[in-house]
Amino acid sequence: MDQSSAQEFIQHLINGISLGSIYALIALGYTMVYGILQLINFAHSEVYMVGAFAAYYTGKGLGLDQHPGFGALFALLLAAVVVCSILGVTIERLAYRPLRKAPKLNILITAIGVSLLLQYSGQIIFGADPKLFPEVIKDVTVFQLGGVEVRSLDITILVVGTLVMIGLHFLVHATKIGTAMRAVSSNTMVARLMGINVDQVISFTFVIGSSLAGIASVLVGLKYPKIDPLMGMLFGIKAFVAAVLGGIGSLPGAMLGGVILGLSEEMVVGYLSSTYRDALAFGILIVILLFRPSGLLGSQTREKV
């Protein structure tokens, strides 16, 4: 490898990991809900979409693109997290909880219904044309390392993504509610015998998963600033593939699957052709389902939540 191709590779590496950490954030929401309810929450991608719009309107309303910086970023993240949490919990309450004892297929179809409902409501409420996400972080080259440009946006995404995942790890492993989440995921009936209020734990899981989607939506808005009500479809499916790749139900799996998917997409685009970008995720899905349906880190003793 000569120097310029090594630089190019490292550039792709940085882009890939930053895209991957966004996939990971969304994948975590799929995997947490699956771990606790054995439900693929198809509406999760629309929660993510609504998060982007919550941040968009907050940014516009407060004129935050005139005052870029971490304060503005924080405001957008907060708006997306609050709106997504409320939406996620509401969906669970209204659409899934009444079906708690129904066959799994009924809940799955309901989830698809909620997803479509939000897509079409989004088009009515927000309008179908793309909107330009407020640029609260100026994407400038922060430093050059041996010819590789390290840009502020990628640093922001990596720092936010890493902090959030460390926080999640702490939450799940070092708090009482986090341990209760793992207990419910492991055996709901026995969790009830411990006096755990399972409905409350499920709500809490939706709050956390939806918050992560909200955070991801802001990071995506910064990186790919055109947002529209159908933005959740493709991105959501890819994040879902990342969750399956890592092993659905496994938190480290979702993180790993996200990063692998982001990296592979970036490499495919960089070295083959961008035409294959979207096909790649589905290719991975098919291969995983054929050869290792439990995913990379999924197994009998996996850490489900």
Partner 1 sequence: MTAKPTAARENILKVSDLAVSYGGIQALKSVSFEVKTGEIVSLIGANGAGKTTTLRAVSSLVPYTGTVEFKSKSGEVLNLATVPQHRIVKFGLAHSPEGRGVFPNLTVLENLQMGAFSRTDKEEIAQDLELCFASFPRLKERVKQKAGTLSGGEQQMLAIARALMAKPSLLLLDEPSLGLAPLIVAQIFEIIKKINSEGMTVLLVEQNARMALKISDRAYVVETGKISFSGRGKDLLGDPRIIDSYLGGH
Determine the Cα angle at 209 with ends 236 and 61, to 5°: 80
Q: How far is CA 236 from CA 59, 66, 220, 239, 242, in A?
A: 23, 30, 12, 5, 10
Least separation in angstroms between residue 165's CB and partner 1 is 19
Asked whether 52 and 231 are in contact (CB, 8 A), the reply is yes
Least separation in angstroms between residue 193's CB and partner 1 is 5
Strands 226-227 and 131-132: antiparallel
Least separation in angstroms between residue 201's CB and partner 1 is 10
Least separation in angstroms between residue 51's CB and partner 1 is 30
Cβ proximity to partner 1, 176 vs 275, nearer residue: 176
Distant-in-sequence, close-in-space partners of 47: CB < 8 Å, separation ≥ 6:
29, 84, 87, 88, 91, 118, 210, 213, 214, 232
Q: State the helix-helix crossing angle for 198-223 and 176-186, rounded to 10 degrees.
A: 100
Least separation in angstroms between residue 195's CB and partner 1 is 3
Cβ proximity to partner 1, 172 vs 231, nearer residue: 172
Cβ proximity to partner 1, 238 vs 302, nearer residue: 302
Least separation in angstroms between residue 16's CB and partner 1 is 31
Asked whether 26 and 45 are in contact (CB, 8 A), the reply is yes
Cβ proximity to partner 1, 35 vs 209, nearer residue: 35
Closest CA to 47 of 93, 97, 84, 94: 84
CA distance 109 to 23: 24
Least separation in angstroms between residue 301's CB and partner 1 is 6
Cβ proximity to partner 1, 45 vs 185, nearer residue: 185
Rounded-to-5 percentages of helix, strand, coil across the chain: 75, 5, 20
Instruction: Catalog residues that contact partner 1 under the rule CB under 8 A.
Output: 176, 179-180, 182-183, 186-187, 189-198, 301-304
Cβ proximity to partner 1, 162 vs 187, nearer residue: 187
Cβ proximity to partner 1, 105 vs 174, nearer residue: 174
Question: HEC states along 259-278?
Answer: HHHHHHHHHHHHHCCHHHHH
